[in-house]
Each structure stands twice: as structure tokens, then as C-alpha cells.
Amino acid sequence: MLRTPTGGAGHGTAGSAGRLVSIGTVLTMLRDEFPEVTISKIRFLEAEGLVEPRRTPSGYRKFSPEDVDRLAQIMRLQRDHYLPLKVIREQLDGRAPGEPIRIPAPSPHSDAVTEVGTEAPVRPAAARIGREELLAAAEVDEVQLVEWESYGLISEDPGGGFAAESVTVARLVADLGRFGLEPRHLRAMKAAADREAGLVEQVVAPLRRHRNPQTRAHAEATIKELAGLSVRLHEALVQTALGVRLH
């Protein structure tokens, strides 16, 4: 459930009035369901051609109810089905109005699909991207990536490839760099994130060791919920420390 621009709860997204809203309002509307969403994330999806908000004469983004609905659909497909953005764009752009979104089956040897809202037989593995794909998606160069790797801000998986969220990390590190914050300044943030992850792992470890498969599956949902709460708490603490408020 997403909040309407006036703050009330409502089904759908931008509400029945259909008026255009700013990116800050979109962020507020999406955050109940997607606590980890950021303005950088929305801008990234726009840069990737997943959503096309209107622009005012002065250059400000304005989002329609359809834009906000589409953003919510995209993030659900990423969160629940771990689909790459290319596949999400193909699915959203290729379907007829009212047609359900169809998800490729997780097996690489099967052409079967499952509709959103039905239970898939196997949960797909978290998406991984290659080095070149990461550089292109984050719009950074090899020199920058190597430097960030040297400070532990981004790391390649032992089996090869990077977590899809590395794109967001790279873009945020680049954005902070434009304010003069260098990778060495961000090591404290990385260390804090690692400590938070360790705390979450302690909470869910008993669930993961449980004999009941449903309990073990519940551990993954618990991780997501705790991660979202941790992100929101971190943001609130930083804003409180700085004495600022997000409008």
C-alpha cells in the first residue's frame, strides 16, 4: 500500500486526482512498501529507461500516477523475483494493457513462466552482474571501480560477478565524490554497514538452523524487514544529527 500525496493511505499509487508530483513526493509514497528506496534509485531507473517522468520548463521531474505505479511494479519485480532491469523493461513494455506480468522460470533449461502473484517452485538466486555491466550501469570508469574496491566499498563475489546492488553503491559513492568525499572517507560507513549486517545475522541465525523449512524460509523475509528498518533508522539518525528534515 502506497501513500497518497496528501499522506493518507490508499490503494494504488498517486491517487485518484491524477496530478503530477515531485520526486520527493514519489519517494514518500513508495517508502512504506520499499523502505530502502532513495532518490538516487529513482533517478537510476529513469536513466535506464524504465520510467520517463515529465519535465517542467525549469527541468524539474514530475511523475504521473502511471509513473509511480510503474516504479512500484519495477521494484516488486526486483525484490520478489530478482529480475535484471533488462528483463523487467521487456516484460512491462511488451505486455498488453491489463495483461498480467509473466516471470521467466528460474531454471535455465525451461521456457516456462509464472505469473506475478503465483508461487514459483524454486526461488531464483540473487542477481549478479559482470564487471562491464556494472561500469556501464553505474556510469563510472575502471579506475574509479578499482579504487573503490581497494577500500572495500565494492567487492566481487568469490564465484565471479557483483551483487546487483553494487550499481546503487557505485552511483552513491560517485555522487558523494562530487561533494569532495573520497573513498577513504567512506570506510567508516562501510564498517558500520558490516556491523549492522552482523547484528541482523545474529537475529536470523536461529531461524536458519531450524528443522522446519518454513521457518528457514521465514529467515529470508526477516532479513529483508530488518534491513529495511536498519536503513530507515540510519537515515533518521543522520538527519537528526545534522538537524535536517527530508521534505
Q: Is 24 helix (H, G, I), strand (E, B) or coil?
A: helix
Report pLDDT digits (tens) over 17-40: 468 999 999 999 999 888 878 888
Among the CATH numbers 3.30.160.70, 1.10.1660.10, 3.20.20.100, 1.20.1740.10, which is that of 2-115? 1.10.1660.10
Report which of 198, 125, 131, 137 is spatially closest to residue 168, judged by C-alpha positions.
137
Q: Which three cell numbers stand for residue 116?
A: 506475478
CATH 1.10.1660.10 residue ranges in the chain? 2-115
pTM score of the predicted model: 0.46
Please determine, for residue 127, whether its predicted confidence score (pLDDT) is greater than 70. Answer: no
Q: Does pLDDT of 72 surpass 70?
A: yes
Q: Which fold has domain 126-181?
A: Multidrug-efflux Transporter Regulator; Chain: A; Domain 2 (1.10.1660)
Residue 18 per-residue DSSP state: -
Cell of 24: 520527493
CA distance 48 to 51: 8
Report the b/e string of 179-201 with b at 16+ CB within 10 A. eeeebeebeeebeeeeebeeebe
Residues 194-219: tens digit of each pLDDT: 888 888 888 888 877 777 777 777 77
**Biggest alpha carbon distance in the chain?**
60
Across all residues in the chain, what is the average pLDDT? 78
State the DSSP code for 69. Answer: H
* Rounded-to-integer distance, Cα 123 and Cα 132, Å: 26
Predicted pLDDT of residue 67: 94
Burial of residue 151 (CB within 10 Å: 0-12, 13-18, 19+) is middle
